[in-house]
Structure 1
Amino acid sequence: RTASTVVVYTDNFTGTSCLSSTPPSYSFVDITTFMHIFPTIYGILCSVGVIANGLVIYAVTVCKKKMVSDIYVLNLAIADMLFLLVMPFNIHQLVRDRQWVFGNFMCKAVVVVDVSNQFTTVGIVTVLCIDRYIAIVHPTSERRTIQWTIIINMLVWLGSFLLTVPVMLYAKVEQRQNTEVCMMNLDGPEDMYWYTLYQSILGFIIPLIIISTFYSLTLYHVFSSIRRVKRKQSVWARRATKMVLMVIGLFLICWSPYHVIQVLNISNHNPTVSFVYAYNISICLSYSHSCINPLMLLIFAQNYRERLCHKKVLRSSQQSSKVTVIKADGSSANNELITTTAPPSDPKRAPLSTCVL
């Protein structure tokens, strides 16, 4: 998955497939359109995504009483932020007609971050779904702690890194038509076939099965127990479940088209113009996940908005007054005393520092 790629077939899909010696029926489809439209779209996604993820990271880190779900949200935001920080390299390559000018090391680094973002994102969404199942179906589980959640997220990052080993081996700068291109230089169509299956099965199909299974069990438990629990508890459960459903739904909407087209490309030896456009749009849609996900949390998750607004309220409620300090020598000096207005004590109101996803 690389933004600069507009070529399909066996010498296509920089970052996700291979380049072979067999030339395609055509190399580019309306390259001018892609060169002008997609860099602008990617630039907007990158700018908005960095700001949104930065706000989410800030909202989580300022929270003193972090919940388990906070850790998942924080790691998801960090993964998206890392990817967005290397997106300008892809935009530059797209503007330069796929020409790579940053050297072999940066080629490997950018593609590794790109691919690891896919595995990290789906990994965190998967374990988040499992966590939601445990929180609602087995709320007294002793394993659901901040410490265990941190360890689980570390394992997700480690697993994502290990799954990018093929990318580290095959991503390199190659000379193609008098132009240096950053690409996955696999040996032929068979390698492309196996790598595509490897990426789609481990990065989408298996996680999708796990997500569907656990979320179905969670929904079944929530709706079957509404009559047997207090209304307040059932409202909380449904609210938390809906929020996670939004995260999962957004992931599926953004990533399903990309993986479907990747699999279709294996047997598509003569891609049409529509297929090329669909492929590039699917890449753009997958990129948008890193931007839309934090925006969705900031818009629909009330606790994150409250944290950001709470900081502003605290700053505006600070009152400054001048006090006179009498020194030992008899002189005086004016000092500014800052007093902070404490928030009202209301036992019915949950603390703003507590997060429930």
Structure 2
Amino acid sequence: VTATTTAHALKPNLTDPSCLNSTHPSYNHIDITTFMHIFPSIYGILCSVGVIANGLVIYAVKACKKKMVSDIYVLNLAIADMLFLLVMPFNIHQLVRDRQWVFGNFMCKAVVVVDVSNQFTTVGIVTVLCIDRYIAIVHPTSEKRTIQWTIVINMLVWLGSFLLTVPVMLYARVVRRQHLEVCMMYLDGPEDMYWYTLYQSILGFIIPLIIISTFYSLTLYHVFSSIRRVKRKQSVWAKRATKMVLMVIALFLICWSPYHVIQVINLTNNNPTIAFVYAYNISICLSYSHSCINPLMLLIFAQNYRERLCHRNAPHTLSNDLHSL
């Protein structure tokens, strides 16, 4: 799979079955075409559920008159996911039309930029939220945890994410292939694809994962050290902290690990099997699902969201519900 025949290295467009068929004699074109036709429906469901869930999260946060630090992070996370989900119909349309892009070069660049920017923004916000949780639990008297400072941090995350999409702005374009116009990342050769894939995986997955794991481990260490000192008084809080920590890390790993692992494997995979193509497209679907699962997790496990949506007076803030994050 060369750089010019692989999509976005590769996210908004999926692998082209006709290209793979020519490099692998045993490739079943009918099977993979049928398999690919499933994805528009899956993406449509993810988009619909995600827009509703993120809309409810945004409403729940806005409904709180006195916002806390965690509310700002959650609000920005929901906005980032919502922006991505609002451009997903363009990708769905391209899949339904067998990868044909009809919206022009400007919209092609815009959709791909929003797509990739969402990855960096979401991971960035989750990372700084982890650091904030560490400070809140280990250094609760810190004067840096203010609403104003939190807004500045989130603005820097958005700015950093936008700057990280500069390569996407340069390479995303409409390319004419086999009498079709396709929106894709048109990289000049295997070497460019190699560096872009490493760029995306290191900055969008490996470094954030190291930071998240480090700060969650330090937070858990502090929690269980406190339990040994005060015994049962914080046992409930500790169990809840452990559960939420494992849930957030598991969600991050399940949704993004397959995508980045397969991206790296794809660099040296010149003769992809049908199983690899199935795994490749499923990994893309999992990465997309992160924008839908994020708000659902908050709506299910953060009690104050449900209380706000039901217009009940919540004695505690959302920050308390997320204090174990």
TM-score by length of 2: 0.89
CA contact (8 A) 1:79 1:117 kept: yes
- The 1:252/1:354 distance shift into structure 2, 3 A limit, reads closer
Q: CA deviation at 1:306?
A: 1.2
Spell out structure 1 runs of 4+ moving beyond 6 A: none
AA in 1 matched with 2:7: T
Q: Which letter maps to 2:211?
A: I
Structure 1 residue runs of 5 or longer lacking an equivalent are 1-7, 314-342, 344-348
Within-5 A mapping of 1:201-350: 201-229=202-230, 235-236=236-237, 238-240=239-241, 242-309=243-310, 311=311, 350=315
| 1:33 alignment partner AA | T
Query: Aligned-pair distance for 1:351?
Result: 4.0
Deviations 1:143-181 (A, max 9, x none): 011111111111110000000000001100011111000
Which residue type is aligned with residue 75 of structure 1? N
Contact 2:4 2:186 in 1 (8 A): no
- Other structure's SS at 1:269 match: coil
Instruction: Describe the shift of the 1:260–1:163 C-alpha distance in structure 2 as closer, same or farther (beyond 3 A).
Output: same
**8 Å contact from structure 2 (residues 3, 186) kept in 1:** no
**Aligned to 1:144, what secondary structure does the other structure show?**
coil
Alignment of 1:96-175 (within 5 A): 96-175=97-176
CA deviation after TM superposition for structure 1 residue 64, in Å: 1.2
* Aligned twin of 1:41: 42
Higher mean C-alpha displacement, 264-273 vs 227-236: 227-236
Q: CA RMSD in A?
A: 2.2
Per-residue deviation, 1:234: 5.5
Equivalent-residue separation in structure 1 for 2:178 and 2:199 (angstroms)? 29
1 or 2, which has the higher helix percentage?
2
CA contact (8 A) 2:57 2:295 kept: yes
Residue 5 (structure 1) aligns with: none
Q: Distance in 1 between matches of 2:28 and 2:93?
A: 18
Task: Give the letter for the 1:282 counterpart.
Answer: S
Which moves more between the two structures, 285-294 or 29-38?
29-38
Q: Is the 8 A contact 1:307 1:352 kept in 2?
A: no
Q: Which has the higher relative contact order, 1 or 2, with Cα contacts under 8 A spaced 6 or more apart?
A: 2
Do 2:69 and 2:319's aligned partners in 1 also have CA atoms closer than 8 Å?
no
Which residue identity does 2:141 align to in structure 1?
Answer: T
- Write out aligned runs for 1:56-75 (5 A): 56-75=57-76
Q: Is the 8 A contact 1:306 1:352 kept in 2?
A: no
| TM-score calculated relative to the size of structure 1 | 0.82
SS at match of 1:16: helix
Match of 1:322 in 2: none
Deviation at 1:248, TM superposition (A): 2.8
Distance in 2 (alpha carbons) for counterparts of 1:97 and 1:44: 19
CA contact (8 A) 2:54 2:79 kept: yes
What is the alpha-carbon distance in structure 2 between the residues aligned to residue 174 and residue 300 of structure 1?
44
Contact 1:17 1:195 in 2 (8 A): no
Identity value in percent: 85
Given candidates 6, 9, 29, the residue that maps to 1:16 is 9
Q: What amino acid is the match of 1:86?
A: V
